[in-house]
A and B are shown apart, each in its own frame.
Chain A
């Protein structure tokens, strides 16, 4: 079966088993290894990507269900030649990244969250992170960075991920 979808803004065509988990195509066919395959059960969040702007676990998404969808991975959030996503910049400024295994998933989950919840409280930020497990236990610093990102954007009247805050 052939499945076509947009991957980081470009056309992507996959030939093969439509029940292949999206994460395997990203990593093994497209070499987008920022998306991590860790638990493969939807519990750890390391494989989170955006499908039609929603943060979902790519390990549980059969590619057949993304036909016609727009998929964005951590590599698509900022190309490297562009400025970082404000949340990525906030994490870097706060030195919040530790081993990096969970982090692409953290960024993908939380970038969608700050876009949709520009006035989120600290408990709401924590609730949004419950599906992203960090074994380095750096949660508080991550929460601090998200709160700072939203606070700074509010003060500057800027956009976070396309939404005025």
Chain B
């Protein structure tokens, strides 16, 4: 056990208390599954932390007829259970129920998954990108809403003072799917992640995680698909388009090299479209 350390630990019971600790320099502790491994990465644990799990509003999933609000302290396991069977959320449920392993999913939170800055393989990021989710932040000026694409791009700067509090998702999807390629059944990070969704206007949205340092929408492929016939959601044809419009720069990692992450995308897209076609919304 490490020698005794004088560390500030605040289990905030209100957002105001959390923000006060944040202003004094405390790092946000979510489920702990990323931060607790800092020492293994050669990084010291923060001298002050603030935990959000005792703030009731951040630990619940509100399901309304036209939208869903997910608290940042909701765990993957709770999110998967809450949205199980909800039409259009098949991909988000698969992401929540397929990430890491069951023990991790019981403690790792939605907010932690989106705010771990150096974690490229966050399952919820591409799944929420295709939902076109909105991230709610608590800032020194008050609450702020930001599209998830902008949040992921700017989170390094945003999170220096803000806290992610909730994720807002419209219920405008007909179907969605989440495909991941780990090297083993569990216990490693996926080589690549592809999330897909079809909205009520029959537009297909695709996002990719783990291939580049930050998850992003595959707009080149989405545009190519939109240029074709609306009814032609075909796995083989989509895989061909994915090969033609593959604009990703794969990141090298200890699991695999970047070229491999990039190269597996077309077959993953093919699997993803096949999974979409099996959902209730499109079958």
* Interface flags, A1-14, vs B, CB<8A=1, else 0: 10000000000000
Residues of B within 8 A of A (CB-CB), count:
29
Q: Tell me the smallest distance from the CB of B186 to a CB of chain A, in Å.
A: 4
Which secondary structure characterizes the binding site on chain B?
Answer: loop
Report the nearest A residue to B4, measured CB to CB.
A16
Q: Tell me, in angstroms, the Cα distance from A25 to B11 when the chains sit together.
A: 20
CB pair B106–A60 under 8 Å, yes or no, is no
Assuming the contacts A62-B29, A109-B103, asked whether A19 and B185 have C-beta atoms less than 8 A apart, the reply is no
CB pair B104–A42 under 8 Å, yes or no, is yes
Task: Indicate the member of A42, A45, A59, A64 with the most B CB atoms within 10 Å.
Answer: A42
Q: Is A94 an interface residue (CB 8 A)?
A: no
Q: Tell me, in angstroms, the Cα distance from A16 to B11 when the chains sit together.
A: 16
* Interface flags, A64-100, vs B, CB<8A=1, else 0: 1101000000000000000000000000000000000
Contacts of A109 in B (CB 8 A): 102-103
Contacts of B187 in A (CB 8 A): 43-44, 130-131, 133
Report the nearest A residue to B30, measured CB to CB.
A65
Stretch at the interface among B32-40, B164-172, B202-210: B32-40
CB pair B32–A60 under 8 Å, yes or no, is yes
Contacts of A130 in B (CB 8 A): 101-102, 185-187
Q: Tell me the smallest distance from the CB of A86 to a CB of chain B, in Å.
A: 20
Report the nearest B residue to A55, measured CB to CB.
B103
* Interface flags, A27-64, vs B, CB<8A=1, else 0: 01100000000001111110010000011110111101
CB pair B101–A60 under 8 Å, yes or no, is no
Contacts of A57 in B (CB 8 A): 103-104, 107
Report the nearest B residue to A67, measured CB to CB.
B11
Q: Tell me, in angstroms, the Cα distance from A47 to B49 when the chains sit together.
A: 24
Question: What are 27 residue pairs bridging A and B, where the CB atoms are less than 8 Å apart in the complex?
Answer: A1-B9, A20-B1, A24-B1, A29-B1, A40-B37, A42-B37, A42-B104, A43-B188, A48-B103, A54-B106, A55-B103, A55-B106, A56-B103, A59-B36, A61-B32, A61-B36, A61-B107, A64-B9, A64-B29, A65-B29, A65-B53, A67-B11, A109-B102, A130-B186, A131-B104, A131-B187, A133-B187
Binding site for B on A (CB under 8 A): 1, 16-21, 24-25, 28-29, 40-45, 48, 54-57, 59-62, 64-65, 67, 109, 127-128, 130-131, 133
